[in-house]
Amino acid sequence: MAVDMKLLKIFNTRIDAELAKSFLESNGIKSMIVADDAGEMYPAASIYWGVKLFVNDSDFEVAENLIKEDSGK
C-alpha cells in the first residue's frame, strides 16, 4: 500500500529538521526527512537545497498547525 507524502517544510539544517521530526513523532505523526547531502557527508549542501520534511498527506493539516504553534508563528 503506497502512502501519499506531502512536503511540510524545508529547513536550513538537518538538525532543525530532526528536531521537528521528533516533535511531530511525539505527537503521533510519522514523517520522513529527505536531504541531498550524500548521507550527511556534505552537510553544507543543505544550504543550497535545504532539508525537506515530508508527512503523510492525511496528517498534513495537523502537522502544519503543530509546526506553526511550535515556532510561534
pLDDT at 27: 96
Structural domains of the chain, count: 1
Predicted confidence pLDDT, tens digits, the chain (73 residues)? 457 999 999 998 889 999 999 999 999 999 999 987 666 666 666 666 789 999 999 999 999 999 998 766 5
**Nearest-CA neighbor of 8 among 59, 42, 69?**
59
pTM of the model: 0.81
Distances (CA, A) of 47 to 12, 20, 28, 30, 73: 6, 18, 29, 25, 23
CATH code where residue 9 lies: 3.30.70.1530
Q: Tell me the residue range of the domain where 15 lies.
A: 5-71
Q: How many CB atoms lie within 10 A of CB 63?
A: 24
